[in-house]
Structure 1
Amino acid sequence: MTFDTLLDEQRRYPAPPAFAAQANATPEWADAARTAAEADHVAWWAEQAERLDWAERWRSVHTWRHPVTDLDTVAALPTRPAGDTPVGATWFAGGRLNAAVNCVDRHVASGLGDKVAYFWEGEPGDRRSLTFAELQREVAKAANALTALGVEAGDRVVVYLPVLLETVIVTLAIARIGAVHSLVFGGFSAEALRFRVEDTGAKLLVTSDGQFRRGNPVAVKAQADAAVDGVASIEHVLVVRRTGEQTPEIPWTADRDVWWHDVVDAQPDTHVAQAFDAEHPLFVIYTSGTTGRPKGLVHTTGGYLTHAATTHWALFDPKPDDVYWCTADLAWVTAHTYELYGPLLNGVTSLIYEGTPNTPHPGRHFELIERYSVTTYYTAPTLIRSLMSWFPGGLPAGFDRSSIRLLGTVGEAINPEAWVWFHEQVGRGRAPIVDTWWQSETGAAVMAPLPGVSTLKPGSALRALPGLRTLVVDEQGVEVPRGSGGYLVIDGTWPGMARTVWGDPDRYRDSYWARFAEQGYFFSGDGARYDADGDIWLLGRVDDVINVSGHRLSTIEVESALVAHPDVAEAGVVGVSDATTGEAIAAFVVAGAEFEGRSDASPEASDRAAALRAHVASAIGPIAKPRDVVFVAELPKTRSGKIMRRLLVDLAEGRTLGDTTSLQDERVPLRIAEVLRGH
């Protein structure tokens, strides 16, 4: 199978000379790294592992037993994560290290104790900061508290908190004592939280009395209680006081529930850290559940930290005076790698923000950029498109963005027009954009431009980073020619790769390694295409591909064409049943309040819909014209900013909606259903 790829983006942005002159990853470094990695990628990654402090050296750099072709050998491997789940890969096995020591203690020892590790701002405007020395003391106290609560190495701790400094502190403390953390977005339902608590067999839940959402204090302790009610593995619930008297009715279970300020704050602020094997599990992170039962992906310590440190250094070009801001919620893998571990491993000052980007006004992010002199701003395409809709005439002159020198995107493929807006409006036409492709499964970035080296193409992550190899292949695993599309795969192994699915190694094997077992490829689940230069363009999840009269079209390409129209802020495109063509294209379009909910049969909306269809036909061909154009106020998105196209299909087809617990706003599908009834 190949994809019909029709969009042809020709704009190019070479690396700015001033940026290239000071970049960490220079053309010389990139050439040497690619040459060395292509010759022996295992040896190259071993060299990158020297970025970390090791208490003991490893016995072997890498072993690999394919989960399909070497199944018997995999089952017999001695190194396994907690839960006795077989591992197919090891990296740096026998080497011993401590994640928290690498993130914090070694920087204090090297003289960076007075450097700010984190600036934090709450949604109501309250502010705190922690230096590396202060962070070291706070993590030590939390580690002592966890031990006092009976948490030991290998135990699982679920963290259900908003973006707070306590979230960072407890995550590092869990890693410090060798327990396994699993962070859950603070807006998830009790049902979604309960699944993760039960699936991991967690001993401790860390939560808060409440949190702030869009300007309002909201109690969450009752949801946490419902999630752990009757769960035999839970021994304690550790509660951070966040909303206090603003959410006074907090349920409490004696002998189980304990306050953070009572237990953590009373502990000694020193802690002797133990080193753990590189293959010791560090965290379990769950996929969003947008396509079925969430998968708990197991990431281990040494390889993951190596991948995180290396890619953060090469892609985000950290400098001693940088203030780096990754806008992801701390529960997402983006934040694990590029808000927690990556920046801390490289000794970088980060900003973290508790609230939503338009509370109390749409310019809140730019207010924060100015206040903290943010130099690197890493965010999701969905937020960029929202900013475009909030500031249709461009950003007001009152926001000082002069500190920004580098931008980044993550989450899903970015539409070229949104990329250009981001570059011109937020980056002032000067800041390179690091468009990263990776997944929860990969642990860290796999494809991205090197900002001081690459000529950027709006909408493309270009190609694999040194030490990694990606291909676009057909159903037989044969690489497709230039200009064609197919399945995106990773050829071989890499240090940050998830080792298994928690408690379900068969699902790990079947989801990622079975489809192209003969070739040894990891199947990403994404479609992609090569351009004439061999660079790669993402086409979205293969489940989202639309088959119109035998033409397999990418939702990303059609959405990009729509977003390029000046009247469209966002678009979600899906395939729906059609008696003539098999499938037809339905486009859900955010195009201004005056069109929200209006049937495209009304004169004004009909004219706008016709203009959009003509625009798509002109941009990528008549076959891609949407049959239906539905004007909506918002699109259903996951908490990590991805459009839930599955729900749009369910709505368009009149089916019962599936799981919606991962939505940013569970009211959005109901509003879209009302619009569809009007059609």
Structure 2
Amino acid sequence: YWCFADIGWITGHSYIVYGPLALAATSVMYEGVPTYPDAGRPWRIAERLGVNIFHTAPTTIRMLRKLGPDEPKKYNYHFKHMTTVGEPIEPEVWRWYYNSVGKREAAIVDTWWQTENGGFLGSTLPALQPMKPGSCGPGVLGIFPVILDEDGKPVPKGSTKAGNICIRNPWPGIFQTIYGDPDRFVSTYYQKYNKNKNSKDWHDWPYFAGDGALQAEDGYFRILGRVDDVINVAGHRLGTKELESAALTVDEVAEAAAVPVIDEVRGRAVEMYVALKPGQKPSKQIEEKVSGAIDNLIGKVARPKSVWIVPDMPKTRSGKIMRRVIAGISNFTSPGDITTLANPEIVETIRQKVQAEKVKRGELPRELSPQELEEIKKFGQAE
């Protein structure tokens, strides 16, 4: 068994320490980045140690797909069960994980939960329920999710309208308070849809997870990401994960990040940043393919104002893309603190490319209001 996660994260201490020890599982522990000295290292380890259960996050999967898309086929390992956890996984990335990493043999469990929850909220039962790329599945046993609109009305199954995923019932693993700040605990997680603050009936206090979601006719949930990471274009709320998933359907694209840019007509517009797979060269054709994919899969309203092909994304040491940094670049504001980045030098490379081109096009923004500056500064921080 191998949980390929940061041991200091909830996934790490739950699924590297407590879970495997409680079940007496033979467990692999790994220190360092997954792609050192090359992107084949995880698969060499899996082959050498006979790993058959693999547990990791979409960020790691994207990184391995970008740097070594064909590496898994070089090694003789066989996973029977693979998990993805921590953030939504795009359907195209899921398919690579299943076809290349799992060699079409492994059952994938795409789990949805949060540190605050004490355990999975949404997931399929491995090999018992059908897998669906990009969907975590139904609520797990004892968990009853519902998607509510902004007015608190349930969004029906099969609707193309996204909403806020909430949990209708209490459960044993849910955290009890925020230390030293019980009012914040209530206001953050329970107040949004409560109609009677004096009620003692748990039916009146649905748990607000802070994630956007869709529910298909079959009951499976597709998590769209944090509701904070929404770009409001001419009144249309576009989830960043939705936009990025569309961009990743383009064969040449390895990574994608959507950010808002202030637009005088539409309020906000979308700008897409993409990094390419090894061997691919930037071109106008790829930019058009990305815009076209978003047009076709989401709609004309979501068409990016610009598509920027960059050599790499600014990332933390754990591999997370820092969207607030590139949002700052797109809006000619400060990218903020970059000392925690694994590759801080890439920020200046991207800034020079993007801002020089915008100046050339005459796209210098007006002076932003304090509220707009704060919005850009905070974009993506929920991750």
Q: TM-score, normalised to structure 2's length?
A: 0.85
* Stretch deviating more after TM superposition (364-373 or 628-637): 628-637
Cα pair 1:491 1:522 within 8 Å, conserved: yes
CA distance in 2, matches of 1:608, 1:572: 15
1:391 to 65, 68, 87: 68
Corresponding position of 1:437: 112
Match of 1:568 in 2: 253
8 Å contact kept, 1:370–1:401 = yes
For residues 386 and 476 of structure 1, do their structure 2 counterparts lie closer, same or farther at Cα, with a shift above 3 Å needed?
same
CA offsets, 1:97-146, max 9 Å, x none? xxxxxxxxxxxxxxxxxxxxxxxxxxxxxxxxxxxxxxxxxxxxxxxxxx
2:290 paired residue number: 612
Alignment of 1:294-333 (within 5 A): 324-333=1-10
Task: Give the secondary structure class of the aligned counterpart of 2:333.
Answer: coil
- How far the C-alpha of 1:593 sits from its partner, in A, is 6.6
1:581 aligns with 2:257: no
Distance in 2 (CA, whole Å) between partners of 1:590 and 1:502 is 41
The alpha-carbon deviation at position 641 of structure 1 amounts to: 4.3
**Offset of 1:390 from its aligned partner?**
1.7
Q: Provide closer, same or farther for how the CA distance between residues 443 and 485 of structure 1 changes in structure 2, counting only shifts above 3 A.
A: same
Aligned residue for 2:242? 557
Q: How is 1:482-631 mapped onto 2 (pairs within 5 angstroms)?
A: 482=157, 483=159, 484-518=161-195, 519-592=204-277, 605-631=283-309
- Quick one: distance in 1 between partners of 2:335 and 2:85? 27
Matches within 5 A, 1:45-444: 324-392=1-69, 394-395=70-71, 397-402=73-78, 404-444=79-119
- Aligned partner of residue 674 in structure 1, secondary structure: helix
Amino acid at match of 1:648: I
Residue identity opposite 2:241 in structure 1: I
Corresponding position of 1:459? 134
- Structure 2 residue matching 1:407: 3-state secondary structure: strand
For the 8 Å contact 2:108–2:126, the answer to whether it is kept is yes
Report the CA distance shift for 1:594/1:431 in structure 2 as closer, same or farther (over 3 A): closer
Task: Report the residue type matching 1:643 in the other structure.
Answer: I
User: Once the 2 structures are TM-superposed, how far is the Cα of residue 400 of structure 1 from its aligned partner?
Assistant: 1.3
Mean CA deviation greater in 422-431 or 332-341: 332-341
Structure 1 residues 364, 459: CA separation in 2 closer, same or farther (over 3 Å shift)? same
Q: Over aligned residues, Cα RMSD in angstroms?
A: 2.1
Q: TM-score, normalised by structure 1?
A: 0.49
CA shift, 1:326, in A, is 0.9
**1:447–1:465 contact (8 Å) kept in structure 2:** yes
> How much identity, in percent, do the aligned residues show?
39
2:332 paired residue number: 654
Structure with bigger gyration radius: 1
Per the TM alignment, residue 591 of structure 1 is displaced from its structure 2 partner at its CA by 1.4
User: Distance in 2 between the 1:502 and 1:662 partners?
Assistant: 27
Provide, for residues 494-537 of structure 1, a one-character-per-residue CA deviation record: whole Å limited to 9, x for no partner: 22222222332222222212212333111111111112223211
Provide the secondary structure at the position in 1 that maps to 2:151.
coil
The 2-side partners of 1:593 and 1:668 are apart by 17
Report the alpha carbon displacement of residue 555 of structure 1 after superposing the two structures with TM: 1.2
- From the superposition, tell whether residues 426 and 540 of structure 1 become closer, same or farther in structure 2 (CA, over 3 Å): same
CA contact (8 A) 1:410 1:435 kept: yes
What count of residue pairs does the alignment treat as equivalent? 347
Amino acid at match of 1:623: V
1:357, distance to aligned residue in structure 2 (A): 1.0
Unaligned 5+ runs, structure 2: 196-203, 358-383
For residues 661 and 432 of structure 1, the distance between their equivalents in structure 2, rounded to whole angstroms, comes to: 39
> CA shift at 1:457, angstroms?
0.7
Taking a change above 3 Å as real, the CA distance of residues 595 and 424 of structure 1, as seen in their structure-2 partners, is: closer
Distance 1:651 1:529, change over 3 A: same
Query: Letter of the aligned partner of 1:553 in structure 2?
Result: L
* Alpha-carbon spacing, 1:344–1:665, altered in 2? closer, same or farther (3 Å): farther
Distance, in Å, in 2 between the alignment partners of 1:591 and 1:652 is 19
Q: Is the 8 A contact 1:527 1:542 kept in 2?
A: yes
What amino acid does structure 2 have at the position aligned with 1:541? R
Cα pair 1:527 1:540 within 8 Å, conserved: yes
Please say if 1:678 is aligned against 2:356. Answer: yes
- In structure 1, the residue matched to 2:377 is none
